[in-house]
A and B are shown apart, each in its own frame.
Chain A
Amino acid sequence: MIKKYAIKTWMEIGFIIIITLFIARPWIEKGLNRITIFDTKDYEIDFVDDSGYRIRMKKPADSVISLYSAHTENLFAIGADREVIGVGTHSIYPYEVLLKEKYDYRSDPEKVIAIHPDVVIIRPFIERHSPDFVNSLRRSGITVVSLYPDNFDEFDDYIMKLAKIVGKENTAKKKLEGFHKELDNLKVKNIDENKRVGVYFESSDREYKTITNNSMPAYAIELAGGINIATDAIPIEEGSSIAAYGVEKILEKADEIDVYVTQRGVMGAGGNYHSISIRPGFYAIKAVRNKRILEINQKIISSPTFRFIKGVKQLRRTFYPEIYDEIQEFDEDHLITREEFAKILVKLNHDVIFIPTSSYYRDDNKEHYYGALVDVTIEHESFDYIETAIRKSYLKSEIIDNEEYFNPEKYVTREELARVIYLLNDLENKIDIIINDEENIENIKIVKTIVSNKLMDLENGKFYPKRNITFEELKKGLDL
């Protein structure tokens, strides 16, 4: 009887233990990862990731799948383009990632497991959103690293962790040094206190949310010399960079808001120019009245990447266009290059630099794709001006043997200038004049209209469309 009872009890205990172990499996797995006493091997890489897992690797990874676009971008920035063998579905920057295999954490983990990369890099959001996917990877023996810097202070540490994973610490250190140096140089210092612009940053149009004081956009506003008018905003939860604000508080400060910045590029982000300008009561806001609403892609202002520099530069141009959109002066007979032309036009029209969203590449019919220029890569000093000028259709790229070129050093022709003047103005077509070298002109309607409106001149009745333009001609044509 006693024996029989004992067996039953033991069975029950055993059953409870098995159930408990099964339920507690994720925590046990996580815990075992942190125990080191049983493991005396030397690990070259040893740190705790942002989901609390201890990451130990004997040597840097040679094959990485990065499932978050910011990680991908940063890995490319520190020279790990070869090591990255796969990227998330939203990765579009730099252009080269488009050639990488795409992986989706919302689908079957088998696709990743089959490749068996050394490391899969995620962010805590993916862990929360798709725990089964992530656990399947871990169980299959793949090292999963979860990283995300909550604020700007953690950026360097985050980049160095990424660098450790792929063994690019030296490159990363240099990159960070350059990044901080550039930010220091960008810092707007010489603005009188009474001339500094008041800024409201809309992070989401759902309940009019803004940003917290330690967020990346708040830091960008500070660097760009703006005054964030919503420093009294309360974070929606501890550690979040999003803060509740509300329409009443915005309208209370309507007169202090010189520039209204709205973050775009993801669902649930800020409103667009049109929707903000038609909101009831918003006409009271100084920035809305003066049409100073900036739509900025969240990738360059809120995302932890080196492109944050672009965000700061854009804010400076929008806050103080009289300084940062000032057009460089040249000698009157200076011939204008295409690079100079792009820069002048973007500054003249105060165009917001173009940053594509992932939907941009879905259209496979474009003449030009952002980032595809062979002679103007992302490292090029005027990359943003040139890409924006192409986006605005001021200038075209040239395709030779399936490769795209911009030819930044080439001089701008008279016909190219005529085309831009026509695009930028609403001119009435006047085509009843005679031009003697009509046969050399690509678009006669445009040239005749420009000449008829006396924006460019003929010489002996000829237009000379292929001739290069001087700074003097450009000033006259664009009314500088």
Chain B
Amino acid sequence: MKKIVLFMLLVIVIMSVVGCSQPDADKKAMVIVSFGTSYADTRELTIAATEDVFREEFGSYDIYRAFTSQTIIDILEERDNIKVNNVREVMELLTKEKYGEVVVQPLHVMNGAEYDEMSSIIKEYEGNFNEVKIGKALLSSVADYEKTVEALATQFPETKDGEAIVFMGHGTHHDANAVYGTLEYVFHANGYKNVFVGTVEGYPTLDNVINELEENNINKVTLMPLMIVAGDHAHNDMAGDEEDSWKVRLKEQGYEVETYLHGIGENEEIRKIYLTHAKKAIEGENE
């Protein structure tokens, strides 16, 4: 009898321990991951505004924010007393909170180095949840390119002959750098002949873009960032007034230059693409 009682007690203890560490199937979290920015104004207009759209669309999910740039996380914490989690921290937090389902939607432009790094961190935590799903970056499928082209076209000013739009992308050493050339190709294929895409740190370079501008007898250029936020790159590398900024380099070649200082995170149609990617991830279409 004594043995049976002891055995029953043991079973209860084991069950309760196991029960405690099990995720709660009803708890669902969605993490919106981006590089981050220390500029409060563009952060509100892009990242925070996109999160609001996700909150509206995915009412049953708790929305969490994570940045991939530790430098920006540190600046925000030290300077503004704003705590933002990195990807690892947010996964730890969700584990602690016993979420059953976790959907991670990055606001990256491409499935590049940051996307890979983020995915590998998330994979380490897969066992802690019933389901973990990762949405794709903006430019993943052919349909994404088509939709992105149309989304970006909504922010174009009216252009005449001899006028062009030039996007400034970041550029990367990763294979995914090919997205920039592809995006420009799709712009042209869809009739936006005078739209060109260059990068700060990858290929095509601004020199490549200038060659295209010359070939197409362009006279006036509107510069736009192909980045979620309009942060340092947009303010300095694109629209700054020093010798190496794109604005100055184009002006000294005799181009009229306008600048559009808004991250693509402000573009409602771009946000919709990210929403679609999150939905697809939930439906398991990425697998």
Contact = CB atoms under 8 A, between A and B. Distances in A.
Contacts of B242: 391-393
B241 to A, nearest CB: 7
Contacts of B252: 393, 419, 422-423
B38 A275 contact: yes
Given A275-B39, A366-B244, A392-B243, A429 B220 contact: yes
A213 to B, nearest CB: 25
A458 interface: no
Nearest to B231: A274
A364 interface: no
B78 A206 contact: yes
B41 A278 contact: yes
B219 A429 contact: yes
Interface in A263-305: 268, 271, 274-275, 278-279
A423 B40 CA distance: 31
A50 to B, nearest CB: 28
Interface string B225-243: 0000000000100000111
A115 interface: no
B204 to A, nearest CB: 15
B174 interface: no
A205 B251 contact: no
Q: Which range holds the interface residue count of chain A?
A: 20 to 34
A446 B254 contact: yes
Contacts of A274: 39, 235
Contact of B243 (A391, A419, A444): A391
Given A268-B78, A275-B39, A445 B254 contact: yes
A393 B248 contact: yes
Interface in B59-105: 78-79
B78 A427 contact: no
A423 B248 contact: yes
Contacts of B244: 363, 366
A206 B254 contact: no
B219 A445 contact: yes
A242 to B, nearest CB: 14
Contacts of B251: 422-423
A426 interface: yes
* A275, A390, A426, A428 — most chain B CB neighbours (10 Å): A275
A427 B39 CA distance: 31
B141 interface: no
B126 interface: no
B235 to A, nearest CB: 6
A446 B251 CA distance: 9
B210 to A, nearest CB: 13
B120 interface: no
A427 B79 CA distance: 40
B239 to A, nearest CB: 11
Given A391-B242, A446-B254, A205 B39 contact: no
B78 A428 contact: no
Contacts of B41: 278
A393 B254 contact: no
B211 interface: no
Given A419-B252, A429-B220, A443-B254, A390 B78 contact: no
Given A268-B78, A393-B243, A429-B219, A422 B40 contact: no
Contacts of A422: 251-252, 254
Contacts of B39: 274-275, 278
A426 B256 CA distance: 7
Interface in A418-443: 419, 422-423, 426-429, 431, 443
Contacts of A423: 248, 251-252
Given A275-B38, A278-B39, A429-B219, A205 B79 contact: yes
Contacts of A431: 219
Given A206-B79, A268-B78, A423-B248, A392 B254 contact: no
Interface string A299-326: 0000000000000000000000000000
Given A268-B78, A278-B41, A429-B220, A392 B241 contact: yes
Contacts of A429: 219-220, 254-256
B214 to A, nearest CB: 11
A263 to B, nearest CB: 14
Interface in B197-222: 219-220
Interface in B131-174: none
Interface string B90-125: 000000000000000000000000000000000000
A446 B244 CA distance: 19
A443 B243 contact: no
A429 B161 CA distance: 13
Nearest to B242: A391
B253 to A, nearest CB: 7
Contacts of A426: 256
Contacts of A205: 79
CB-based closest 5 A-B pairs: A445-B254, A393-B243, A446-B254, A278-B41, A206-B78
22 contacts: A205-B79, A206-B78, A268-B78, A275-B40, A279-B40, A368-B243, A390-B243, A392-B241, A392-B248, A393-B243, A393-B248, A419-B252, A422-B251, A422-B252, A423-B248, A423-B252, A426-B256, A429-B219, A429-B255, A443-B254, A445-B254, A449-B254
